[in-house]
């Protein structure tokens, strides 16, 4: 775990050594609030809750998270620093986990900086803070899922733009797995059980059920397994392709 | 000790390394030579644990690079080709990161950091971002991370590539200083470097070892080994001199460079011709600017072996 912590710390510091961290946080906060107030009609609804805030998170993450993860492995391979990292006494999974946790912690920080909206809603009315807490947790889990997918896509290529596009696409497909846009591609030839299995993978469905304030074990478990699966795949991909 | 047995690396399209076996003992400085794409870097990457061999084995200080990768890597200090780094990091933070991943702690960590900073003269750039440094400094940062944990084995892929003559000299001095206690493997294009720092040279061509010898022995394979080279003061004596030298029984061939008024007499195998040539020059009344015995030309051996 010592190596994981060391790599996490280095990664996190490198976010703040470049404009990346500041650009990401500012754009995230601006967009999150703009969506809430304009499209989500936060005031006009006249309800003291943060639904209009959280409902846009999947769409914000869809583009911002792959932008954050595209460099995770692609940049290491492009610059050759992966040769340095992978010849140190570090296991591949330690590096994968360290980098992933750094990205997650960073996203968590960006998310935490949205706290003024929580203060606002508590000032304006008396919202159900339990639901808000669950929603924050759901949003963090969703970000975690996207980050794991993005990490995996970044490990598949040395080109960051390709990693970004693959990341957006993969996140989009899993986000909408329960909706016709994705399911129609399978209807007509795939067996019903497969279609139902795909539908149950929908990130959006699980996210929405958490943001309703029902923190069910199966939803949390779904995210944990999703993250675990994609981090495992990342590890395999890095190990196989590091020297290509 | 480094020991490789029948090391192979095949890619779908090419075989990069084919049946490479050698042993290196402490105190040896092994130079890897070969044309670009010959398999030098791939071999070094397999020793460093970055590339997995298709077949064969490699052991570093008794640790198999595949079965005990972490122990093997901990015994090695590795400078990858081009010395890649985390460009956005400051030198001090980067070196501290390496020290910690190399499991150095407390007083020992501070002592080693102080040592490498002092040894590679990095004190003036500690707070600079690595990507803003000159090529020479970046290479030194790469060398500093390689020797950080005082490893018994150093694998340096083109350590002097792209450095200016002073920096090259510094790096060679560093290698010489560490040579007696460590095993050092370097790869290089620069042939004089092999003669200057290596106790042994392996020449690789098309993935195979084609020569494994001391630099001196390799040089003596040159057809210029023990050749006598003379430069005339008067160019008009060139033809007389050529004919006279060609007439000597022990001379195999005479090469003439007209522009410099220089002749090189190549001896028959094993013959020493310096005395005869000197006597001849006096007899023929040749006016000499220079007369010397050649030890052999490594670049010529290299071209003959790898062509």
Is B165 in the same domain as B76?
Answer: yes
Strands B183-187, B29-33: pairing kind: parallel
The B251-257 sheet, strands edge to edge? B251-257, B262-267, B228-232, B288-293
Find, in chain B, the residue whose alpha carbon is nearest to that of A8: B97
Is B238 in the same domain as B203?
Answer: no
Is B202 in the same domain as B118?
Answer: yes
B86 inside 8 A of chain A by CB: yes
User: Could you tell me which residues come within 8 angstroms of residue A220 by beta carbon, excluding any fewer than 6 positions away?
Assistant: A141, A210
Burial B226-251 (b: 16+ CB within 10 A, else e): bbbbbebeeeebbeebeebbeebeeb
Is B117 in the same domain as B248?
Answer: no
Is B245 in the same domain as B168?
Answer: no
Instruction: Please identify, among B220, B246, B263, the residue that sits at the C-terminal boundary of a domain.
Output: B220
Find, in chain A, the residue whose alpha carbon is nearest to that of B47: A87
- Are the Cβ atoms of A243 and B98 closer than 8 angstroms? no
Is B136 in the same domain as B161?
Answer: yes
pLDDT tens for each residue of A47-87: 778 888 898 999 999 999 999 999 999 999 999 999 999 99
Is B209 in the same domain as B251?
Answer: no
Q: Is residue B161 part of a domain?
A: yes
Strands B2-10, B15-24: pairing kind: antiparallel
pTM reported for the whole predicted model: 0.89
Per-block mean pLDDT, blocks of 10 residues, chain A (244 long): 95 92 95 87 78 90 95 93 95 96 97 94 90 93 96 94 96 88 83 84 89 86 95 95 79
- Are the Cβ atoms of A88 and B88 closer than 8 angstroms? no
> By the 8 A CB rule, do B257 and B231 touch?
no
Phi, psi of A14 (to 5 degrees): -70, -30
> Which pLDDT score, from 0 to 100, does residue B281 have?
86
- Are the Cβ atoms of A83 and B45 closer than 8 angstroms? yes
- Residue numbers in B near A17 (CB within 8 A): 88-89, 129
> Which residues on adjacent β-strands are paired with residue B264?
B229, B255
- Residue numbers in B near A87 (CB within 8 A): 48-50, 73, 76, 78, 80
CB atoms closer than 10 angstroms to residue B55: 11
How far apart CA A106 and CA A9 sit, in angstroms, is 11
Q: Nearest C-alpha of chain B: how many angstroms from A12? A: 11
- Are the Cβ atoms of A81 and B84 closer than 8 angstroms? yes
> Which pLDDT score, from 0 to 100, does residue A86 have?
94
Q: How far is CA A1 from the centre of its chain?
A: 23
Interfacial residues of A (vs B; Cβ cutoff 8 Å): 3, 6, 10, 13-14, 17-18, 79-81, 83-84, 86-91, 242-243
> Which pLDDT score, from 0 to 100, does residue B239 have?
87
Q: Which of A142, A145, A130, A140 is CA-nearest to residue A215? A: A130
Q: Nearest C-alpha of chain A: how many angstroms from B307? A: 28
Is B213 in the same domain as B234?
Answer: no
- Residue numbers in B near A6 (CB within 8 A): 97, 100-101
Q: Is residue B244 part of a domain?
A: yes
Per-block mean pLDDT, blocks of 10 residues, chain B (307 long): 94 91 93 89 94 94 94 95 92 96 94 94 94 91 94 94 86 89 90 87 92 88 88 86 86 87 87 87 87 85 84
Find, in chain A, the residue whose alpha carbon is nearest to that of B65: A87
Q: Which of A224, A1, A226 is CA-nearest to residue A91? A: A1
Q: Closest CB to B97: pick one of A10, A83, A243.
A: A10
How far apart CA A13 and CA B84 sit, in angstroms, is 19
> Which pLDDT score, from 0 to 100, does residue A47 have?
78
> Which pLDDT score, from 0 to 100, does residue A193 have?
86
Is B15 in the same domain as B69?
Answer: yes
- Are the Cβ atoms of B70 and A91 closer than 8 angstroms? yes
ipTM: 0.90
User: Could you tell me which residues come within 8 angstroms of residue B228 by beta carbon, excluding any fewer than 6 positions away?
Assistant: B264, B265, B267, B273, B274, B277, B291, B292, B293, B294
Q: Is residue B157 part of a domain?
A: yes
Is B242 in the same domain as B215?
Answer: no
> Which pLDDT score, from 0 to 100, does residue B56 have?
94
What is the count of structural domains for chain B?
2
- Are the Cβ atoms of B102 and A13 closer than 8 angstroms? no
How far apart CA B32 and CA B75 sit, in angstroms, is 20
Q: If DSSP states are collapsed to H, E and C, what string results for B113-146? A: HHHHHHHCCCHHHCCCEHHHCCHHHHHHHHHHHH
Residue from B13, B17, B49, B50 whose CB has the most chain A CBs within 10 Å, to mutate:
B50
- Are the Cβ atoms of B49 and A90 closer than 8 angstroms? no
- Are the Cβ atoms of B86 and A6 closer than 8 angstroms? no
Q: Closest CB to B87: pick one of A3, A79, A90.
A: A79
What DSSP element (H or E) covers A213?
none
CA distances from B138 to A82, B43, B84, B120, B143 (A): 17, 24, 9, 11, 9
CATH number at residue B255: 3.30.70.100
Q: If DSSP states are collapsed to H, E and C, what string results for chain B? A: CEEEEEEEEECCCCEEEEEEEEEECCCCEEEEECCCCCCHHHHHHHHHCCCCCCEEEEEECCEECCCCHHHHHHCEEEECCCCCCCCCCEHHHHHHHHHHHCCCCHHHHHHHHHHHHHHCCCHHHCCCEHHHCCHHHHHHHHHHHHHCCCCCEEEEECCCCCCCHHHHHHHHHHHHHHHCCCEEEEECCCHHHHHHHCCEEEEEECCEEEEEECHHHHHHCCCCCCCEEEEECCHHHHHHHHHHHHCCCCEEEEEEEHHHCEEEEEECCCCCCHHHHHHHHHHCCCCEEEEEECCCCHHHHHHHHHC
Q: Is A41 helix (H, G, I), strand (E, B) or coil?
A: coil
Find, in chain B, the residue whose alpha carbon is nearest to that of A5: B101
Q: Nearest C-alpha of chain B: how many angstroms from A31? A: 28
> Which pLDDT score, from 0 to 100, does residue B286 have?
86
Q: Is residue B85 part of a domain?
A: yes
- Residue numbers in A near B80 (CB within 8 A): 80, 83-84, 87
Q: Is residue B287 part of a domain?
A: yes
Query: By residue range, what is the domain housing residue B233?
Result: 228-296
> Which pLDDT score, from 0 to 100, does residue B249 have?
84
> By the 8 A CB rule, do B92 and B126 touch?
yes
- Are the Cβ atoms of A3 and B86 closer than 8 angstroms? no
How far apart CA B126 and CA B141 sit, in angstroms, is 10
Q: Is residue B191 part of a domain?
A: yes
Is B215 in the same domain as B251?
Answer: no
> Which pLDDT score, from 0 to 100, does residue A199 have?
82
- Residue numbers in A near B45 (CB within 8 A): 83, 243
> Which pLDDT score, from 0 to 100, does residue A180 have?
83
B85 inside 8 A of chain A by CB: yes
Q: Is residue B78 part of a domain?
A: yes
CATH number at residue B47: 3.40.50.300
Q: Is residue B307 part of a domain?
A: no
Instruction: Please identify, among B220, B255, B276, the residue that sits at the C-terminal boundary of a domain.
Output: B220
- Are the Cβ atoms of B73 and A6 closer than 8 angstroms? no
> By the 8 A CB rule, do B80 and A84 touch?
yes
Is B177 in the same domain as B125?
Answer: yes
Instruction: Please identify, among B195, B220, B245, the residue that sits at the C-terminal boundary of a domain.
Output: B220
What one-character DSSP code corresponds to residue A188?
T
């Amino acid at each position: 775990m010592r190596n994981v912590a060391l790599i996490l710390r280095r990664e996190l510091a490198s976010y703040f050594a470049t404009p990346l961290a500041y650009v990401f946080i500012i754009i995230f906060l601006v967009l999150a609030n703009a969506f809430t107030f304009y499209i989500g009609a936060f005031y006009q609804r006249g309800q003291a809750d943060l639904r209009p805030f959280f409902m846009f998170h999947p769409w914000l993450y869809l583009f911002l998270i792959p932008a954050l993860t595209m460099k995770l492995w692609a940049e290491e391979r492009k610059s050759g620093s992966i040769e340095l990292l992978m010849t140190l006494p570090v296991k591949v999974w330690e590096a994968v986990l360290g980098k992933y946790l750094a990205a997650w912690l960073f996203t968590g920080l960006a998310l935490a900086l949205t706290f003024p909206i929580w203060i606002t809603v508590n000032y304006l009315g008396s919202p159900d803070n339990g639901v808000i807490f669950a929603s924050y947790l759901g949003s963090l889990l969703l970000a975690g899922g996207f980050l794991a997918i993005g990490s995996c896509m970044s490990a598949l290529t040395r080109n960051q733009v390709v990693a970004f596009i693959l990341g957006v696409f993969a996140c989009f497909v899993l986000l909408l797995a329960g909706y016709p846009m994705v399911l129609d591609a399978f209807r007509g030839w795939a067996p019903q059980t497969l279609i139902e299995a795909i539908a149950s993978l929908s990130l959006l469905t699980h996210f929405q059920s958490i943001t309703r304030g029902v923190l069910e074990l199966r939803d949390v478990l779904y995210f944990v397994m999703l993250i675990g699966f994609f981090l495992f795949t990342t590890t395999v991909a890095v190990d196989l392709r590091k020297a290509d | 000790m480094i020991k490789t047995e029948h090391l192979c690396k095949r890619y779908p399209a090419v075989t990069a390394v084919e049946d490479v076996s050698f042993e290196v003992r402490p105190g040896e400085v092994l130079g890897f030579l070969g044309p670009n794409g010959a398999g030098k870097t791939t071999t070094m990457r397999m020793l460093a644990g970055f590339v997995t061999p298709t077949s064969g084995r490699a052991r570093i200080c008794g640790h198999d690079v595949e079965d005990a990768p972490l122990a093997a890597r901990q015994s090695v200090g590795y400078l990858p080709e081009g010395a890649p780094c985390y460009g956005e990091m400051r030198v001090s933070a980067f070196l501290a990161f390496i020290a910690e991943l190399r499991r150095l702690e407390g007083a020992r960590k501070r002592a080693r950091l102080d040592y490498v900073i002092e040894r590679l003269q990095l004190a003036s750039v500690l707070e600079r971002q690595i990507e803003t440094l000159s090529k020479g400094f970046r290479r030194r940062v790469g060398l500093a991370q390689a020797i950080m944990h005082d490893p018994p084995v150093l694998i340096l892929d083109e350590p002097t590539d792209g450095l200016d003559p002073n920096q090259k000299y510094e790096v060679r001095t560093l290698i010489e200083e560490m040579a007696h206690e460590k095993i050092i493997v370097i790869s290089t294009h620069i042939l004089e470097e092999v003669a200057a720092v290596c106790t042994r040279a392996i020449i690789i061509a098309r993935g195979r070892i084609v020569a494994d010898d001391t630099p001196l022995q390799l040089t003596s394979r040159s057809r210029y080994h023990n050749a006598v080279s003379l430069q005339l003061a008067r160019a008009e004596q060139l033809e007389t001199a050529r004919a006279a030298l060609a007439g000597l029984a022990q001379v195999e061939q005479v090469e003439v460079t007209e522009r410099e008024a220089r002749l090189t007499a190549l001896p028959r195998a094993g013959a020493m011709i310096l005395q005869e040539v000197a006597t001849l020059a006096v007899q023929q009344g040749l006016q000499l600017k220079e007369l010397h015995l050649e030890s052999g030309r490594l670049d010529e051996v290299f071209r003959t072996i790898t062509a």
